[in-house]
Structure formats: structure tokens, C-alpha cells
Structure 1
Amino acid sequence: MSAPSLHNAMTNAEWLAHRYDPGHDAFHMLHVPRKRHAEIPFLIDEYLGQEQPMVLRRADAMAQAAAPGPIHFLFHSAYCCSTLLAAAFDQTGIAMGLKEPVLLNDLIGWRHRGAKGADVARVLDEGMRLLARPFNPGETTVVKPSNIVNPLIPGIMGLRPQARALLLHAPLDMYLASIARKGMWGRLWVRDLFQKLMREGMLAPVGIAPDQYLDLTDIQVAAVGWLAQQGQFLMLTQRLGDRVATLDSETLVARPKDSLTALAGLFSLSMDEAMIDEIVTGPVFARDAKSGVEFVDGQRTRQAQRDLETYGEEVEKVMHWASIIATNAAIPMTLPRPLLG
């Protein structure tokens, strides 16, 4: 498509604030129509293609940016149906779900490279303003960041005092079995996450000494990462009170209508019973949110059972070990402030 004017791009939510380049203090904007959001699982280059971005100096972009609408968040600890839930908020005139915008990942990377806290906060504030530009008047933006962005949650919620958030997780045994099923790539992913959490100081509350890290198996590493995020979620419930609610993936799958109804209430969205019925009986809940493959009735439950059967011995031993760690660190397996009473 032909390049729009700066003003047209910054007043049109189809131009996604995709990346932040600290070297040039610039935002990279990509044209992503609403229909494209619905077709892809994540807002990453793998799915967005090789289109050249519009590169804008941060000051120029912000001078022309449209006013933001309300913004709320789906924070998660991975492999817990968060992508599905974000997709459910693609409701024209009411809300739009953004699935893992890379802009927020860039800020974590920048911080790890030594960026000053005030600089990161300023760009985070402005980046969220760009992400919250509504596709249509009156819409709310619901952002599902990657879980590597979780260390920024206190900053995000502090900068947006009107925002509310869901803290979503999978039960630990199902999370561990899912990682095991993914083979080498799943095991590499949890080790990469472990390193990022370590840089952020989030492993310290778990109570494992750094000189013990190399002694951990891959599945133990996965468990420690889960516990670190669970501990953070506990802290957030204590600090943020009724601005946050918690939910586990199995409750979401078992009670999708109740979950979506309660979440619409948390986010102050005008989603009536008929709309929620249509969502939970429609394609969003009927297919794999990442692959797009349709679910056969009961498929997810059967897969989870197979995972636990296949990797049960390893998962059971790590679960016992993790439960002792969790007790010693006062990290609950079940979080307070449940979305559903």
C-alpha cells in the first residue's frame, strides 16, 4: 500500500506501534488491518511478514497520535489459553485484543541492556498510548503481552491507574507436562525465560541459591519459572486489590461463559449474554488459538491426560519438589482474588 501521511498513520489504529528503536529514539509502525489481527496468533514478524515499517521519531509520532481509549491487560505465565482469551475481545465497537505486541518486549530488552528506568518508563507510557488508539470510537483495548514482559507489570499498572488486569496461569502439573511434550524447544524456552527472570531479580523469592541453578533439570527450571511468576502474581493481588483478578486455564476451559462474563465486568465492557454466548460457541473457542486447527470435542482434555501419562513420573517428582519450595517461599498454588467465586 502507498505510504500515508504521518497524521493519517498516527490517527489510525491499523498502523500498529510494532517496535521501538532506542538507538534512533523511533517507533516502527506497521499496517495491520483488524482482519489480519484475527488471522494470526501473535503480532510478531513471523506472522506479520516482511513489510517495511514506517519509521517515525518518537517525538513526531506522539505529536500526531490520536487520543487513546481505555486499556486493560491479560497478564499470564504462558501456556494457559491467554491467546484464546485475547482473541475473544475482537468485538467491533466494544473492544479489541492485541496479542503480544513486540513493542513491549523491546522495552524489556532495552532495560536488560542498561537503559535508565526513567527512560524506559517514558517510552512505556507513550507506547501504551499508541497501543490504546481504538479502531472504532468507544472501543477498549485489551493487551495480552508476552509473559517476558511480566517484570514491567508494576510499571504498567502504575502508569495506567484506571487499568485493570487478569492474572492468568495454568496449573503447575499441566504446565510442566506441556513443556515436556514440546521437547527440546520447550525446554530451551523455559531456560531462556529463567535467565530473563534471573536478570530481573524475580528468582530470589523462590529461595534457590544461584550456585544450585546448574543442578536443576529442565522441568525443575520450568517449575522455578512458574513459581517466580506465581509469586509475582500473589504480590500484585496484594498491592493492586480489586484492580486485578486471577484465573487458571482449567477453570476458563470448564466455565468459558462465566469467565468471559466476569472478565467483561472487570474491564467494564458492554458485552451482553447473547454476545458472550456467540463468542464461546463460535470459532474462537472451537479452534487452537495458535495453529487455527479446529478442536474435536474433548480434545484438549485428552491431550492433557496423555501428557500427564507420558511424562507423569518426571512431572510427579518435580511437583513434589516444587510443592516443598512453594511452601518454604509462601507461594500459593492457588492464587487469591479469583475471577470466579
Structure 2
Amino acid sequence: MTAAPSVTAIIGDAEWLAHRYDPGHDTFHFRRVGREARAVVPFLTDACLGEDAAAVVLARKDCRAPTANAPAPLHFLFHSAYCASTMLVQALDQPGVATGLSEPVLLNDMVGWRRRGAAPQEHGRVMDDAMAMLGRPFRPGEAVVVKPSNIFNPLARGALTLRPQARAILLHAPLRAFLLSVARKGMWCRLWCRELLENYLADGFVALGFEPRDYFRQSDLQIAAVGWLAQQQAFAALAAWAPDRIATLDSETLTADPAAAVLGAARHFGLAADPAHIAAHPALARNSKSGAAFAPGERQRDLAAAEAAYGEEIEQVAGWAAVVAERAGIPLALPRRLAIA
């Protein structure tokens, strides 16, 4: 029978992904996921990775000492969905340069625990430890770039406060492109937008002047637009709060010249990335969700097809959302744009 790895061995090996947090027992759950396995899935979730019968459970207090020395630089890619964020974080994952984490469930647990009434000080302490667990690179000298799920956006400022050296990119799709993505993805995507808004309302993350009953009178795409506006409002405030640490990027700029945008992101994070390695990175040539080969211009063609099918509805909702944005002082284009050579 093989002996279980020691705490020091697990914490010292980034293949042991810090996957879940159990507040009832104050424990972290780890599962073994190598770099290659992470590269072929869009998200670090059980749905993508499969169930794990060999997870290791460690008391949070026992995880601290092995991480006390030389923490890796930790940076964030916050996003508002349907903006090629998975491609970007995967393209930044390069041996010897950076480890990329796409939507680790551990941060979702931080969101859920907060909603269930976690005491703020205790939540902050656990969040600090959770980020230490995520900030373990595969190789010495690598930084760690974390792309949380966008349900984490209400906690973005807290995460940056806990990591004052961290930099962030705020990635979003322009409003019209976002609405076109939602429309073409169909009913389940529209329902997801309603669920996202429900969660943001519970988080106190929406300040657009609507009464609760107003949402029952709004169409699916209006609800999607409200969620987009709430995130855009928060991103604009974040960029103003820490302008020296935060840059913004939109999906159309990213997908128009992915290699240049990824290189700009690497420079913003202080990564010594090789432009030739970025240009040849497999993440730039495949669909980040399905893994299928991604032809140049495919995203633009998909959006054009959605425009043909849903253009009239999109036009009406985009116009309505622009009025809401103006009244709430929300910029439709974010400031502090990422420098791209």
C-alpha cells in the first residue's frame, strides 16, 4: 500500500491543485492535476476534470508553514464572460514563465461561503490562505496568473487588496458582441445570465436604479445587459482605484491579433515571455471550450451570423442599455487600455 504524501510534499508540488474549501472543517481539498491535463480543459472544475476519488484533505492551518518562503508573483485576469478569457489565460501558461489557472473552484467556494454569511475577518484570512494555495507555480521563477469565474468579480477588489503586488487585467466583450454571444448560444445561456444576475443581486453588486420588480418585466437580453452593465461599472471603479496595477482589454482587440494581445498581457504582468513562443502557443489555434481547431476570423463570423438572426432585438436592447449606462455614469468602453505593441 502506497503511503499518502506528506503535507510538505503536497504543498511543494503544484500538481496538487487546491480545489475546494470546506468551511465546516476548515480544510482545503487537493486533487492531482498536472500541467498537461490542465491545458486541455477550459475550466478547473469537476465537470471538466472528472470526479476524483483520490483527493487529499488537509487542515488549513497545516498548509501555511510550507508556503512561508518566496511566494510566487500572483496576478489576476478578471472577465465578464464570452470574451476569450480562457484562451488568454491558457496562452499565458508557459513553462518557466507563468502558470495559468482557469476558473479554479476554490475561488467559487470563497464566493459561496461569503453569501452564506461568513464573518468578514475570517473570510479575509481564509481568502489569503486560498490565494497562497493557488499561487504555487510548477517551476521556480514562474508567476501565477489566475482567471477566476466571473461570479468572483464582487470579490476582485478584496483579492487585490490582499495581494498589493498583484496586477490585473479586466477583460470584457463590448456590449453588442456580448449580447450577440448570448443570443446565439440559446436558451441555456439566457438562463445562465438570469442566474448570474440573481447572484449579483444577492452580492449587492448591482447599482443601476432598478426596483426588484423591474427585472420581471425585462427580456432575457435585457437581463444579460444588466449583468454586463454591473460588471462594467465595477471594472471602471477598479481601474480608477488602482490605475498603476490594472489594465483593460476588450475581446475584439484580443481576437483581432491574439499574439500581440497576449504579449501585451505578459508585459503588463511582468512576464519574460518570448514573442515566438506566444505566437506558436496551441491555445491561439483552438477553440478554448471544445478544443477543435480555431480558424482565423471564426469568432467574427459567428457574431455576424448572430447579427443576421437577432440584429433587431440586439439593436433595441443595446440602445436601451446605453441609456441606462449614461444615467448610471458607466463607460461603454473602459479606460486604462492594455498597451499592445
TM-score range, shorter chain: over 0.9
Supply the AA of the counterpart residue of 2:160: M
For structure 1, which segment, 229-238 or 5-14, has the greater mean C-alpha deviation from structure 2 after superposition? 5-14
> Displacement of 1:273 after TM fit?
2.7
Supply the AA of the counterpart residue of 2:20: R
Match of 2:229 among 224, 227, 241: 227
SS of 2:164's equivalent in the other structure is coil
Q: Which runs of 5 or more structure 1 residues have no equivalent in the other structure? A: none
Normalized against structure 1, the TM-score is what? Answer: 0.96
- The residue aligned with 1:216 is 218
Normalized against structure 2, the TM-score is what? Answer: 0.96
- The residue aligned with 2:239 is 237
SS of 2:314's equivalent in the other structure is helix
What does residue range 1-341 of structure 1 map to in structure 2 within 5 Å? 2=2, 3-52=4-53, 53-65=55-67, 67=69, 68-204=71-207, 206-279=208-281, 283-340=282-339
Distance 1:176 1:60 in 2: 46
Distance 2:280 2:210 in 1: 47
> Displacement of 1:66 after TM fit?
6.5
CA-to-aligned-CA distance 1:207-263 (integer Å, 9 cap, x gap): 222221111111100000000000000000110112000010000111223212221
SS of 1:195's equivalent in the other structure is helix
> Displacement of 1:51 after TM fit?
1.3
Supply the AA of the counterpart residue of 1:232: A
Distance 2:266 2:8 in 1: 33
- Whether the 8 Å contact between 2:92 and 2:266 is mirrored in structure 1 is no
- Whether the 8 Å contact between 2:106 and 2:130 is mirrored in structure 1 is yes
SS of 1:242's equivalent in the other structure is coil
For structure 1, which segment, 306-315 or 143-152, has the greater mean C-alpha deviation from structure 2 after superposition? 306-315
Distance 1:289 1:153 in 2: 24
> Displacement of 1:275 after TM fit?
2.5
Distance 1:119 1:242 in 2: 29
Distance 2:255 2:153 in 1: 23
Distance 1:50 1:272 in 2: 36
Q: State the identity %.
A: 53
Distance 1:297 1:114 in 2: 46
Q: Which runs of 5 or more structure 2 residues have no equivalent in the other structure? A: none
Supply the AA of the counterpart residue of 1:48: L
- Whether the 8 Å contact between 1:27 and 1:57 is mirrored in structure 2 is yes
